[in-house]
Chains A and B, each alone.
Chain A
Amino acid sequence: MSLAAPDGTDVRALIPDVPAGDGPDGEKAWRHRHLLDVDVLTWPEIELVLRTADSMREVLARPIARVPALRGATVTILFYEASTRTRVSFELAAKALSADVVNIAAVSSSVAKGESLIDTVRTIEALGASTLVMRHPVSGAPYLAAEHFGGSVINAGDGWHAHPTQALLDLATMRAHLPGGSVAGRKVVILGDVLHSRVARSNLWTLTAAGADVWLCGPATLLRGFEAWAAASAAAGRRFTVTSDVRAAMRDADVVMALRIQRERMEGGLLPSLREYAARFGLTRERLGLARTGALVMHPGPMNEGVEIAPDVASGPGSVIADQVSAGVAIRMALLYLLAGARGSGGSA
């Protein structure tokens, strides 16, 4: 994988402020070949992604929003779950770096006598892909793929486990809109179905690394196990609060992120009804009034307006939901670019 444009110029020169390879202390600025979750990223690495994404935003603002960083490379987007926004976001990011993009919509099943994930991944590699962007309903599936893929694997969401690019774009969005440009010490509330949320889990890692005051709030049935995580995490110096008291959570919040509630949760006996959820935990204007003036409102999408978030809040003055979507393209460009660099210099997982 060459980062040089066909005319020989180093693409890094086209993108301002991206460290060229090694850091001042001789450490690799970016050493990861895959991005499976954000739990393995150090804070300097997270900052590097965000800085690189800032540069990518400048690229995206140009009249011709395209650089040749990944020209000749193929990015394969393999989704075992339906998705529009994440898939399109990766596709736009890869194309803005001049990569060829292959989209595969697949079905996963233990009973269907289909091709195994390992075979699929090996086939994709044999067809020449250097990066595999993967979404899968089974937690951990990208780890299996990474063991059998010679290039880079980016986890675009696995089961309940992780959604690392979402967490990074959420952090970028918060930094872009919070006064002072930092989330350190800011109260960030993640509200809703935490138990089944890969977005919540990945955000826990990045936000605690950033020094935010993280609160997880939702019905007790959808927070199960997180109190124990909070206790274990506090021992390691990463603190967060778990509560079903929505007023306590909302009070003086700087950021409120509502999570999608799925109808399956009632079928599974975890919630009495969506109506009751909306009444007790929905992000309404009244509840948002407990937060700081100008608090940011976020949602990873897709939204059930009127359930976990009221329409007037979703489109209200503090809402940065659309900004999350646009930040996503830059973050994914940054990661495609950094992972390609790590492959070129023999990076590790």
Chain B
Amino acid sequence: MSALAAEVARVGEVGEVVVDLEISRAWLVDPSSGREGPGELVVTDGVIDAVNWLSGDEADGVDDRGIIVAPGFVDLHAHFREPGDEDAETIASGLAAAAHGGFTTVCLMPNTTPALGEPSVLGRVRAAAAASGSPVEVMAYGAVSAGRAGETLAALGELADAGVVGFSDDGLPVRSATLLRSALAYAGMLGLPVVDHPEDASQTDGAEANEGLVATVLGLRGWPSSAEASAVARDLAILADVRADVPGARLHLTHLSTAPALELVRAAKAAGLPVTCDVTPHHLALTDAWLAGWRRFAWDEPWRPGATVEASLYETSVRVNPPLRSVADAAACRAALEDGTADAIATDHAPHTSVAKDVEFGLASNGISGIETALGLLLAAVDAGELSLGRALAALTIGPSRVLGFRPPTVPRGLVEGAPADLVVFDRSDSWTVTAESLASKGKNSPLVGRALPGRVLLTVAGGRLAYNAS
């Protein structure tokens, strides 16, 4: 740790090319080759100069519980709120948060104001990213429907030409099955995926909390699991049809949160459908019991009605769409990562202002500011034996890169000699406390504020340039 700190001191300033970085005796994880173990890594002039895997005596004392080096993370799902809601987040503050979380590529959702439904908005996003000086790569989805109104197609071809990585009306599902059918075909022709937020809105009107024991006891309007599963079933049925005509049609289902929906994807993949999906750190680590003031992880002791709790009831920081689910659903999210049903971990980073969150539970905006706490939640699961480190890191790197397929991150994810340095260095033996001040995001709406999380990010390097330095 102290040796690393000394090495880190020579990497320069954020935004500058990393001229000279040597990381000795760390645990290297390279999901692109499936290899992990003790090693050394040298970066010179922004390029990975050497990757030396250690063995025998040299490897003594190096294990996967200390300093870890992995490729930079890719977030398939983030909201940076610019343009339109810069009080909640800006491209610049979002990129700083991403780098703090170990992410070197982010894919932004188009539900800004105005929505990213035409190329000019993408131009504004890119200009803001360039002006921020952050080396974190910004990618963006275009809207599926014009104005995200769910009625007619947005300018899909023009957006594709401008460089979007896919299409989504996220925040909302693509309500019309007919429009989804058109979008899958048209986007498939362009070689891009449609990213759906699967929610049957007719089942979730006014919903506040996962339908189940917690919602019943707290008197909250139920948000049924079936609202997700039935939307996924619809999407998959349409995909199967469209694919017969348009072989390039691809569907990505984001933030799946329920066991039945994941089971549907598992079966669809087995049947050969071109579908991918992601799960979020909060859905695999937290449960709806957090609404009742419970603060144990999903794999720890479950909440019971009348249990003595540590936190206030009805905290709006745990209000999110889809809602935090049951213990069994969280376990299904972890199982889906382990068996590959879930291709990626996406944060659904959704920063909000205090104005939107410091209100009655039923009136609060949905969303968790999560891009900085993602790694910590995943490591908590790894520490508990509920997730393997290798799968977690693969689902943060090569998994999302493959989902992007046609338009992957500029720098391939891997610890490969001769490639631009794009990596994260974190210390599993250290922890950090989440506070409003420690979050770089303007969104302080995290239920983890006040809590210590394992795994401190020490260094993030994106495309050969320094993105974050803890020291």
A residues touching B (Cβ–Cβ < 8 Å)? 39, 108-110, 116-118, 136, 138-141, 143-144, 147, 158-162, 198, 201, 205, 224-226, 228-229, 232-233, 235-236, 238
Contacts and interface: CB of A to CB of B under 8 A. Distances in A.
A129 B361 CA distance: 24
Contact of A229 (B217, B355, B359, B363): B217
Interface stretch (B53-61, B156-164, B246-254, B304-312): B304-312
Nearest to B205: A268
Contacts of A158: 219
A232 B304 contact: yes
B312 A226 contact: no
Contacts of A235: 304
B173 to A, nearest CB: 21
A143 B313 contact: yes
A116 B216 CA distance: 27
Contact of B314 (A139, A224, A232): A139
Interface string B147-188: 000000000000000000000000000000000000000000
B363 A139 contact: no
Task: Report the contact-size class of chain B (Cβ under 8 Å from the partner).
Answer: 20 to 34
Given A159-B219, A225-B222, A228-B212, A236 B360 contact: no
A144 B360 contact: yes
A225 B216 contact: yes
B213 interface: yes
A217 to B, nearest CB: 16
Contacts of A39: 305-306
B214 to A, nearest CB: 10
Contacts, number: 86
Nearest to B362: A138
B304 A225 contact: no
Given A138-B361, A143-B314, A232-B213, 12 more contacts: A39-B306, A110-B363, A117-B360, A136-B360, A139-B220, A139-B314, A143-B313, A161-B218, A225-B211, A225-B213, A225-B222, A226-B216
B358 interface: yes
A164 to B, nearest CB: 13
A138 B304 contact: no
Contacts of B215: 225
A229 B305 contact: yes
The residue among B217, B219, B314 with the most chain A CB atoms within 10 A of its own CB is B219
**Dominant SS among interface residues on chain B:** loop
B208 interface: yes
A41 B306 CA distance: 10
Given A39-B306, A236-B304, A238-B306, A140 B216 contact: no
A201 B305 contact: no
Contacts of A232: 213, 304-305
Contacts of A225: 211-213, 215-216, 222
B304 to A, nearest CB: 6
A233 B305 contact: yes
B212 A143 contact: no
25 contacts: A108-B360, A108-B363, A110-B363, A116-B359, A117-B359, A117-B360, A138-B362, A139-B314, A140-B313, A140-B362, A141-B360, A141-B362, A143-B313, A147-B312, A158-B219, A159-B362, A161-B220, A162-B219, A201-B217, A224-B222, A225-B212, A232-B213, A232-B305, A235-B304, A236-B304
Contacts of B359: 110, 116-118, 144
Contacts of A238: 306
Contacts of B213: 225, 228-229, 232
A117 B364 CA distance: 12
User: Lowest 4 CB-CB distances: which A-B pairs, in order?
Assistant: A140-B314, A161-B219, A225-B216, A160-B219
The residue among A108, A147, A160, A198 with the most chain B CB atoms within 10 A of its own CB is A160
Interface string B390-407: 000000000000000000
Nearest to B217: A229
B219 A229 contact: no
Contacts of B304: 232, 235-236
A282 to B, nearest CB: 25
Contacts of B362: 138-141, 159
